Structure 1
Amino acid sequence: MGEHDAAGDPGRLLALSDGVFAIAVTLLVLDVGVRDGLDPAGFRRALRQTVPELLAYALSFTVIAAMWRDHRRIFAGVRRVDEVVIRLTVVGLGLVALMPFPTTLLADYGGRPQAVLIYSGAVVAVDAVHLWLLRYLASRPGMLAAPRPKAETRLLTADLTLTIAVFVLSMGLAYVSPTAAKWCWLLLVAVRLGLRWARGGRSAA
């Protein structure tokens, strides 16, 4: 990165980010398929075997979409980026690009604690980088075109923190019951709906 990029417009960084998120989502579906030449019984068996793959795809698509949305919210109103922002963003993108790997592990070995642990750890790592990036930008208002509302920063911080907490909890549950650990992820639905409701109420006020 040159000096111009190190303290420049965030447009190129956002374009790179959108591309990485799009590729990561696309790669999720590559492992889903049914091979050719099957007889009727084999075809039905193969279709049943795609169910874990489709569920893992749906989960990771939702997770990556939420990560992309959080990333866009973090960069809302940013008019200038520095070397730290670039490095944190690149680290986060590298972790996002890795998401198809734990997704495949979850589809193929979802009953094993190691698969749940690796998947949860990947999500925690991405959201931890996003939280670090959010707090860094919040401490440098000169990078923003206008001051970010404190309520928006608090809600986004709570969103990321609670997401991390739920997946860390699932990491602990994984060795007790991988199934219970995966059901734990459904807590995020209630968490995000609650935060969205809170955000809507703050906006109306």
Structure 2
Amino acid sequence: MALADGVYAIAITLLVLDLSVPRGLSSSEYRDALSELLPNLGAYGLSLWVLGEYWRGHRSIFRSVRQVDAQVIGLSVLGLGVAALVPFPTKLVAEYATEPASVAIYAAAVAALGATHLALLLVLARRPWLRGEPTPEPAPAPGTTLYAVDLGSTVVIFLLTIPLALTFGSVAMLWWLVMIPTKIVIGRWGRATTGTTG
């Protein structure tokens, strides 16, 4: 978990390295530079949310893990490698959002990160001797159907964006907005099934 914390922290830090305004600009050039920075800020915000959610998910998955084996380690390293890669497609989306390949590459990276988490859940579900007793929490807990649905919805939404991006271009990014109602519905379902409120 310490390695994962470090990788996610570095990946999030790398997201901000492209956010800068040159020195010595006139007032009009300064306003233009800020306007040109807006796509970078949007991409930063999206990737910060994505990496934050997956970091939280990674910690939730491993909260109940008592020991690991080679497959769990391999899947974890693969997932961390994809997480470390996220700043690259983020820059592509920020600077070349009108290019269909940029949107498709970003969507593929996010879906791949989610797929590694789903694979970890599957491996741990099939190897109960690796898990300890799960700790109760209001958010979807690791190993539960709710958590898998939450994670799976993210993977599916971003996977669907790949062919949409290649067909319709950057308009496909609007499909990512489906995440908002999807997460709300899953959250309400989770509260209803666990009996929590708020």
Whether TM exceeds 0.5 here: the answer is yes
Which residue, 155, 160, 166 being the options, matches 2:151?
160
Which residue, 154, 166, 171 being the options, matches 2:162?
171
Question: How many residues are matched?
Answer: 192
The amino acid that maps onto 1:75 is F
Q: Which residue of 2 aligns with 1:130?
A: 117
Indicate conservation of the 8 Å contact 2:75/2:120, yes or no. Answer: yes
- TM-score normalised by the chain length of structure 2: 0.91
Indicate conservation of the 8 Å contact 1:116/1:174, yes or no. Answer: yes
Q: Which residue of 2 aligns with 1:67?
A: 54
Following superposition, the deviation at residue 147 of structure 1 comes to 5.9
In 2, the alpha carbon distance for the partners of 1:148 and 1:184 equals 34
Indicate conservation of the 8 Å contact 2:121/2:143, yes or no. Answer: no
Following superposition, the deviation at residue 180 of structure 1 comes to 2.6
Q: Which moved more, 1:150-159 or 1:66-75?
A: 150-159
Q: How does 1:97-136 map to 2 (within 5 A)?
A: 97-136=84-123
* Per-residue deviation, residues 40-90 of structure 1 (Å, max 9, x unmatched): 111111010000000000000001111111112211211111111111101
Q: Which moved more, 1:172-181 or 1:29-38?
A: 172-181
Indicate conservation of the 8 Å contact 2:99/2:170, yes or no. Answer: no
CA RMSD, Structure 1 to Structure 2 (Å): 1.8
Indicate conservation of the 8 Å contact 2:121/2:142, yes or no. Answer: no
* Per-residue deviation, residues 136-192 of structure 1 (Å, max 9, x unmatched): 001111111126899952111111221111111111111232333111001111111
Matched, 1:25 2:6: no
* Per-residue deviation, residues 109-134 of structure 1 (Å, max 9, x unmatched): 00110100100010111111110011
Identity rate, percent: 43
In 2, the alpha carbon distance for the partners of 1:49 and 1:40 equals 14
**Unpaired segments ≥5 residues, structure 2:** none
In 1, the alpha carbon distance for the partners of 2:88 and 2:77 equals 18
Give the match's secondary structure for 1:136. helix
